[in-house]
Structure 1
Amino acid sequence: MKNKLTYILCCLLQLCFLTSHAQEAVTTDVAPGIKKISTGVIDKLTPYSFCEEKPLTDALAKLPAAKLPFDVNAIRVNITDRGVLVEIPLDDTEQLYGFGLQIGSFNQRGLRKKPIVNDNPSADLGYTHAPTTFYVSNKGYGILVNTTRYTTFYCGTTAKNNGAAVVKNNTGGNSVDELYKNKDNGSGNVSVDVPGAKGIEIYVFEGPDLLNVLQRYNLFSGGGALPAMWGLGVKYRVKADFSQQQVGKMAAYFRANHIPCDVLGLEPRWQTAAYSCSYVWNNQFFPSPNEFIDTMKNKGFHINLWEHAFVSPKSPLYEPLKTKSGDYLVWNGLVPDFADPSARKLFADYHQETFVKHGISGFKMDECDNSNLTTGNSTWSFPEHSRFPSGLDGEQMHQVFGLLYQKTVYNIYKTLNLRTFLDVRASSSFASSYPAALYSDTYEHDEYIRMIVNSGFSGLIWSPEVRESKSIKDFMRRSQTAVLSAQTLYNSWYLQNPPWLQIDRDKNNKNELMPEAKQVEADVRTLLNFRMSLVPYLYRAFADYRLKGIPPFRALVVDYPQDKNTFDISDEYMIGQNILAAPLTEAADERKVYLPAGNWYDFNTNQKFEGGKSYTIKPSYTQLPIFIKEGTILPLAKPVEFITPDTKFEINCKVYGANPVSTSLFEDDGITFNFQTGSYNNVELSYMNNKGSVKRSGGFKKQRYVVKGWEVIK
């Protein structure tokens, strides 16, 4: 009897403990339109704890006032011996998006998502190179669960047993197909399961609309990234085993054939050891690296170095980092504890003195995701039970390793007042301010397009790089998508020649060029020239990302959240304020395009289309599948082969419609952070009474843009 009473007492005490924790949740206003719910014992190291950029509160305060579609107190948090369960209200008509760089799904309503970092994202599980525990609703709010732990979101898929029987008529027959279908909605909430947590922070981002939610998230993260202007040009990665001389020949090929290129990326062989990394120049392949960097710079090329963060015993960094790394090795190399500021400093200081101060403009940060969790033989990375001196375990470190790697490298450039544009294979929440384009070893074209669209929901930048292709059609359609993305990148790390000269990998490496190689080269040149024409427009879009939090690439539902036709469109997206892109894959020569409300112009034909309808387009390989919103003044530059701080862009403005809205260009030096102290101009472009005008205001003393002409399209 005594044991039974003791058991009952323990149960009651546990119930009181759980109830008290549910009641102890504290809601605070942390920035205009942003609330934080806190309860329990919160992990010391969370995604937001690593965010050094302060919220841009002035910009946040300028957003329209908002109100959640539910009472914030309706968000329930329960702490149990399993971990934390969060339940967020959800109505039957809501559409949900986000969870990072999702590859296999777009509208997340009705799915179970587990956003986990993984080197080979697959299906719609949630595995991705860049997981975020952040989702948004078309009803005008966003939820971020601030944890590094593996977390599962049930997006309106669960129904609780409340004791009352629910009987529904079976009108669909008794076939096996009908029996296995589940057409019921969930119980009116998103359930978030965070095993192992003893407390939690939840950030709630208010609208009033979906675009404002994303603005608040990006501005709270410190503002969106503004890459160096040259980063918006063209990047080409050479073959992994190219020598200094071979890279020089490739550079000469670009300039001799007038193919735009700003960045040449070196792959693993530049180092004395690559798996794990030495971070030491291989003198057999690069006998005079600093002279090489200077020579390339004089020809207008920036040099980007491939590496990963696993430190070889051959590296000068090995001994200093030995006690500041995890307890497991990867490729016999140390895993630096980037959650420790002193470990980050050691890694950064070495890179600054050895590479950045000698002119290296950026890095490709590879392998910072996890081994493929969907196969049993993928075991290269550190295990989840690893321990790090900072206190993170392997699971938590995996979720933020790419984020912290970016932070480590980006801060080198920020300290030197230099902007960059990096490559990275993993990221996480609150990464908006990092100018790092994600990439993947996967290569499905339709998925690459979907990742452009999904990136805008989570403050991420995605690069749908081009490698070899199965046909010329495949290659050209991929090239179009690359031109219409945040970073135009050709990755030839296993190709002897540019892929436009030979799309077949084996023949390429045997120097067997295609008979039509020169024609394909000319078509690629046309596409890349358009990319260079678009740089001033893109630079303005990224400035809006930095200063206003507006994603430069985003799904149609962001701008048109009430239009049901946009809810599931994952292969069209907005670029900046006024361009709608609808890329094609090699699967067909034509496609349907839905145009939202308003009037739109086909960029290639100038034909005007009424919005709210779908149309079929059939662009050629050199015609970009884009539409321009009526009322747009589109500034297009005369193409240049590369961008320098002294480059002046000659602008021709295309005016769409009779009543154009004034637009502006962002003008600064393109390479420093001086814009943060006012050294930039707004170059306002207006067209009234059949006449264009340019008005420049701001603190930048030079002129990057010269408007040469105006073309009216009615």
Structure 2
Amino acid sequence: MKRTVLLFCGLSCVAFVTAQDYQRTDYGIKATVDAVDVEVQFFTPSMVRVVKSPHGESFKKESLSVVALPEKVGFKVGTKDGAIVMGTKELQVSLDTSTGALSYETADGRHLLAEKPAEKPFTPFDDAGDATYNVYQAFKLETDEAIYGLGQLQNGKMSQRGQVKNLVQGNVEDVSPFIQSTKGYGLFWDNYSPTLFTDNASETSFRSEVGDCMDYYFMYGGDADGVVAQVRHLTGEVPMLPLWTYGYWQSKERYKSQGETVGVVRKYRELGVPLDGIIQDWQYWGHNYLWNAMDFQNPQFNNPRKMIDDVHAMNAHMAISIWSSFGPATKPYRELADKGLLYDFRTWPASGTESWPPNMEYPSGVRVYDAYSPEARDIYWKYLNEGIFKLGMDAWWMDSTEPDHLDFKPEDMDTKTYMGSFRKVRNAYPLMSVGGVYDHQRAVSSDKRVFILTRSGFLGQQRYGANVWSGDVGSSWETLRKQVPAGLNFSLCGMPHWNNDIGGFFAGQYNKSWNDGTAPKNPLYQELYVRWLQFGAFTPMMRSHGADTPREIYQFGKKGEPVYDAIEKMIRLRYSLLPYIYSTSWEVTHRQSTFMRALVMDFPRDKKVWNMNDEYMFGKAFLVAPVLEAQYTPEKVVKVDEESGWNRDNAGKADERVHVDFMQQKSAEVYLPAGTAWYDFWTNEKMEGGRTVTRATTLDIIPLYIKAGSIVPLGPDVQYATEKPWDNLTLRVYPGADGSFVLYEDEFDNYNYEKGAYTEIPMAWDDSSRRLTLGARKGEYKGMLQSRKFTVLLPDGRQKAVSYNGKKVSVKF
């Protein structure tokens, strides 16, 4: 239809020009440019969806990630200089009617991003017999603009500029075609097929193998937190996880009997070292032909209900390994196979025998299930529920959710799924498999929050109670260094729960042979493990796990020895921070915040931090600078990936015959971001930001700094997260700026908070008057503390006790 030019608020001055052809819709516009149909839909005043397709072709696109719907936002539309211009109070979008390229500006005219006209956005492609397209779109970025995201990569990069990366799910890389910029915008390329991301001097582009249309979302948040809020609105908000999941977890590959599993928990209780989670890894089901039977057929696990009850009796919780595949002797396999819901490509394990190396004369026959099928997800849950959940299991360790794909052949991608070829939907497999378990558990229980530890993730998975870990990474300093930017970029995609195997999964290079378990006695590994654990204490899940060697604290020595003491010190610090961590979790759920915060999130004006890959904020208060280089031992260059690791190729490469004095003092350089003052967490020394400082370190100390204006609650000394009430918390207040904090509490492990059963205690520090005000308590829940005490502590040692009964009270220093 014809539209005349409009003059309206929110756009720069618009002159009357020749009218262009376009159709206004309830949410945006439709137009055809150069044989390409273009539709622009406003989802919010600051977010638009762009869909392009060959002219006149019909298609149906159902997003797997997106849960939001477009909104009627009161946009204006007109034409200017050969462009169709749309505007809201937040965003201005222009469609060039000669090239079909879109550009984005803020409402006041500041340029954000522009498409680069594409010569061939659609290339015909035969996708396993279905006529479709390769789809491509390029954008033009400014030279000094930094971008983040793409999921979790192992490239060690903070900013993702200047690379070519094929985005496809793998064991140690979890991909999502999402980026966000230092200019305050985000871009989600809504495609699930293998996608080539390119950033060079001429373009920043996405090129996907399969797409009936080109489909992406542009969002303007103003800053990194704003972009995270936008992408969570688009793809799903984050539910609260149980308090206990933020405690310490112990695991290894693998505990071989229920007595061993329960014994680990008992040993921690005897030692008085805090513990909340124990994980049972694979083969509790028996041999590989029974792979993932979701049933305890291994005679070493002859009474699983008692195993779980014994763990619960010691006030701990348990997670168990479940997979995306099934052995041919299992009940789920038979039912799924009868319905054609299993894939034919090879997956882990390759052999049906447990001998090493795998005996391929006895192939396992294990097959991956079709997680895209609602019926298959129902079958999956049926056996999981009957075989394990009803026994009282607390959480799921969903392994191989990428899924494992051995001996890849191009024709494997032709495999038919419920939603088309595997190629078409390949990258969304973890989203569908994890979502299936979450949705089914929520449907049958509201008393126990869903918690899923999983090896792969895709944008939208944050809505499923999932914490993604970085896969079977090798035990090396270089790998440890790469985990920091991997977790930060994953978090910048809007998925806040991330962790990694403390100590690295493959530790065999620190053993004399791959299975003799000597690594905990090897000083080279001891130093690496302690530094990795210190980093892990400041991630959303503190979980020790790996192959080749045990990881329990008592394997590293005994109390009074430097390695043991350093491990225990960091576990206890983690528990003292639980009120801070759990309140931060509420900020994540309720106010779209983020646990692991790249420094650019809080200090965007300090360009020195834009590409900093070795420091970050944990919540809004803590600056964490983990020690990422060996200080006491030679740093061996070890290259291990998940394939060579499982081939046991990593044995005996790091000689332990070195003499080490772990009591020596070392040092590390730390950059303190500009714009604020900082306090050394350990000494309370105050210093100004915008400079690099040298911090003395010992094996049990890493550089930790607190931003001026922070209020940090510290909890009681406990053996498990809920052992003691938070009735006498210490509030550390760090002067130098005004600050605030909200202490959040609820019943800790059910969904009553969704019905309003929780409390918030707002706290505010006025720096000029040196006054801390505890505001009136908001909300209530069953069993809440009616009154309590706080001990307010300043860095100079002054402290005051405050009695609090839910009413506003203040204390002045």
Which of 226, 230, 236 in structure 2 is aligned with 1:222? 236
Residue 250 of structure 1 aligns to a residue whose secondary structure is helix
Query: Aligned partner of 1:530: which letter?
Result: L
Q: CA deviation at 1:614?
A: 1.4
Partner of 1:163: none
CA distance in 1, matches of 2:580, 2:217: 33
Residue 536 of structure 1 aligns to a residue whose secondary structure is helix
Matched, 1:592 2:674: no
Partner of 2:461: 431
Query: Aligned partner of 2:690: which letter?
Result: G
Question: Given that residues 652 and 711 in structure 1 are in contact (C-alpha distance below 8 angstroms), is that contact kept between their aligned partners in structure 2?
Answer: yes
CA distance in 2, matches of 1:282, 1:517: 42
Partner of 1:464: 500
Question: Given that residues 26 and 37 in structure 1 are in contact (C-alpha distance below 8 angstroms), is that contact kept between their aligned partners in structure 2?
Answer: yes
After superposition, give the CA deviation of every residue in 1:440-480 in whole Å (9 maximum; x if it has no partner).
21131111222222222113332122245633322211110
CA distance in 1, matches of 2:69, 2:724: 31
Q: CA deviation at 1:55?
A: 10
Give the number of the structure whose residues are more often helix, by fraction. Answer: 1
Moved over 6 A (4+): 53-58, 380-383
Which of 500, 520, 537 in structure 1 is aligned with 2:563? 520
Query: Aligned partner of 1:301: which letter?
Result: A
Partner of 2:578: 535
Q: Using a 3 Å threshold, how does the CA distance of structure 1 residues 296 and 29 change in structure 2: closer, same or farther?
A: same
Q: Using a 3 Å threshold, how does the CA distance of structure 1 residues 700 and 403 change in structure 2: closer, same or farther?
A: same
Question: Given that residues 545 and 551 in structure 2 are in contact (C-alpha distance below 8 angstroms), is that contact kept between their aligned partners in structure 1?
Answer: no
After superposition, give the CA deviation of every residue in 1:158-216 in whole Å (9 maximum; x if it has no partner).
xxxxxxxxxxxxxxxxxxxxxxxxxxxx23x4222223323121111112122211221
Which of 377, 391, 395 in structure 2 is aligned with 1:344? 377
Matched, 1:404 2:432: yes
- Map 1:224-263 onto structure 2 (within 5 A): 224-263=238-277
Residue 684 of structure 1 aligns to a residue whose secondary structure is strand
Residue 324 of structure 1 aligns to a residue whose secondary structure is coil
CA distance in 1, matches of 2:691, 2:484: 22
Partner of 1:388: 416
Residue 135 of structure 1 aligns to a residue whose secondary structure is strand
RMSD: 3.0
Residue 149 of structure 2 aligns to a residue whose secondary structure is strand
Question: Given that residues 684 and 695 in structure 1 are in contact (C-alpha distance below 8 angstroms), is that contact kept between their aligned partners in structure 2?
Answer: yes
Give the number of the structure whose residues are more often strand, by fraction. Answer: 2
Q: CA deviation at 1:687?
A: 4.6
- Map 1:118-197 onto structure 2 (within 5 A): 118-120=170-172, 128=173, 130-155=174-199, 157=200, 186-187=201-202, 189-197=203-211
CA distance in 2, matches of 1:56, 1:603: 46
Partner of 1:109: 161
Residue 138 of structure 2 aligns to a residue whose secondary structure is strand
Question: Given that residues 304 and 391 in structure 2 are in contact (C-alpha distance below 8 angstroms), is that contact kept between their aligned partners in structure 1?
Answer: no
Matched, 1:473 2:517: no
Question: Given that residues 337 and 388 in structure 1 are in contact (C-alpha distance below 8 angstroms), is that contact kept between their aligned partners in structure 2?
Answer: no
CA distance in 1, matches of 2:611, 2:388: 45
After superposition, give the CA deviation of every residue in 1:211-268 in whole Å (9 maximum; x if it has no partner).
2112211232221343211100011114524211122221111001111111110111
Question: Given that residues 254 and 261 in structure 1 are in contact (C-alpha distance below 8 angstroms), is that contact kept between their aligned partners in structure 2?
Answer: yes
Which of 605, 614, 617 in structure 1 is aligned with 2:695? 617
CA distance in 1, matches of 2:414, 2:679: 55
Partner of 1:35: 48
Matched, 1:324 2:341: yes
Partner of 2:644: none
Question: Given that residues 328 and 386 in structure 1 are in contact (C-alpha distance below 8 angstroms), is that contact kept between their aligned partners in structure 2?
Answer: no
CA distance in 1, matches of 2:299, 2:270: 27
Q: CA deviation at 1:24?
A: 1.7
For these two proteins, the number of residue pairs brought into alignment is: 638
Residue identity over aligned pairs, in percent, reads 21
Q: CA deviation at 1:284?
A: 1.0
* Range with greater deviation from structure 2 (325-334 or 656-665): 325-334
CA distance in 2, matches of 1:383, 1:447: 33
Q: Using a 3 Å threshold, how does the CA distance of structure 1 residues 287 and 71 change in structure 2: closer, same or farther?
A: closer
- Map 1:293-308 onto structure 2 (within 5 A): 293-308=308-323
Q: Using a 3 Å threshold, how does the CA distance of structure 1 residues 433 and 93 change in structure 2: closer, same or farther?
A: same
Residue 432 of structure 1 aligns to a residue whose secondary structure is helix
Query: Aligned partner of 1:364: which letter?
Result: W
Partner of 2:97: none
Q: CA deviation at 1:525?
A: 1.6
- Map 1:543-582 onto structure 2 (within 5 A): 543-582=586-625
Partner of 2:708: 630
Q: Using a 3 Å threshold, how does the CA distance of structure 1 residues 523 and 56 change in structure 2: closer, same or farther?
A: farther
CA distance in 1, matches of 2:469, 2:560: 30
Q: CA deviation at 1:526?
A: 1.3
Partner of 1:14: none
Question: Given that residues 205 and 216 in structure 1 are in contact (C-alpha distance below 8 angstroms), is that contact kept between their aligned partners in structure 2?
Answer: yes
CA distance in 2, matches of 1:484, 1:381: 40
After superposition, give the CA deviation of every residue in 1:117-172 in whole Å (9 maximum; x if it has no partner).
1225xxxxxxx2x10000111011011110011111222x1xxxxxxxxxxxxxxx
Query: Aligned partner of 1:441: which letter?
Result: D
TM-score, scaled to structure 1: 0.83
Partner of 2:732: 654
Question: Given that residues 101 and 458 in structure 1 are in contact (C-alpha distance below 8 angstroms), is that contact kept between their aligned partners in structure 2?
Answer: no
Q: CA deviation at 1:22?
A: 5.7
Stretches of structure 2 lacking an aligned partner (at least 5 in a row): 1-30, 74-88, 92-104, 125-132, 351-364, 508-518, 632-665, 797-813
Which of 484, 495, 500 in structure 1 is aligned with 2:549? 495
After superposition, give the CA deviation of every residue in 1:3-51 in whole Å (9 maximum; x if it has no partner).
xxxxxxxxxxxxxxx97576421111113421100122697566x4255
Which of 131, 141, 148 in structure 2 is aligned with 1:97? 148
Question: Given that residues 650 and 707 in structure 1 are in contact (C-alpha distance below 8 angstroms), is that contact kept between their aligned partners in structure 2?
Answer: yes
Query: Aligned partner of 2:39: which letter?
Result: V
Partner of 1:506: none
Question: Given that residues 274 and 720 in structure 2 are in contact (C-alpha distance below 8 angstroms), is that contact kept between their aligned partners in structure 1?
Answer: yes
Q: CA deviation at 1:566?
A: 1.0
Partner of 1:202: 216
Matched, 1:267 2:321: no
CA distance in 2, matches of 1:279, 1:654: 47
Question: Given that residues 224 and 432 in structure 1 are in contact (C-alpha distance below 8 angstroms), is that contact kept between their aligned partners in structure 2?
Answer: yes
Q: CA deviation at 1:590?
A: 2.9
Partner of 1:278: 293
CA distance in 2, matches of 1:699, 1:52: 31
After superposition, give the CA deviation of every residue in 1:304-329 in whole Å (9 maximum; x if it has no partner).
11121111122221222112233445
Query: Aligned partner of 1:100: which letter?
Result: G
- Map 1:653-692 onto structure 2 (within 5 A): 653-657=731-735, 659-687=737-765, 690=771
CA distance in 1, matches of 2:322, 2:471: 15
Q: CA deviation at 1:515?
A: 8.0
Q: CA deviation at 1:395?
A: 2.9
Q: CA deviation at 1:587?
A: 2.4
Q: Using a 3 Å threshold, how does the CA distance of structure 1 residues 607 and 484 change in structure 2: closer, same or farther?
A: same
Q: CA deviation at 1:405?
A: 1.7
* Range with greater deviation from structure 2 (457-466 or 480-489): 457-466
CA distance in 1, matches of 2:473, 2:551: 21
Query: Aligned partner of 1:149: which letter?
Result: S
Matched, 1:363 2:396: yes
CA distance in 2, matches of 1:354, 1:579: 42
Q: Using a 3 Å threshold, how does the CA distance of structure 1 residues 665 and 471 change in structure 2: closer, same or farther?
A: same
Q: Using a 3 Å threshold, how does the CA distance of structure 1 residues 42 and 293 change in structure 2: closer, same or farther?
A: farther
Residue 577 of structure 2 aligns to a residue whose secondary structure is helix
Residue 590 of structure 1 aligns to a residue whose secondary structure is strand
Residue 456 of structure 1 aligns to a residue whose secondary structure is helix
Stretches of structure 1 lacking an aligned partner (at least 5 in a row): 1-17, 59-63, 121-127, 158-185, 373-377, 503-513
Question: Given that residues 166 and 195 in structure 2 are in contact (C-alpha distance below 8 angstroms), is that contact kept between their aligned partners in structure 1?
Answer: yes
Partner of 1:455: 490
Q: CA deviation at 1:706?
A: 4.4
Q: Using a 3 Å threshold, how does the CA distance of structure 1 residues 320 and 647 change in structure 2: closer, same or farther?
A: farther
Q: Using a 3 Å threshold, how does the CA distance of structure 1 residues 497 and 662 change in structure 2: closer, same or farther?
A: closer
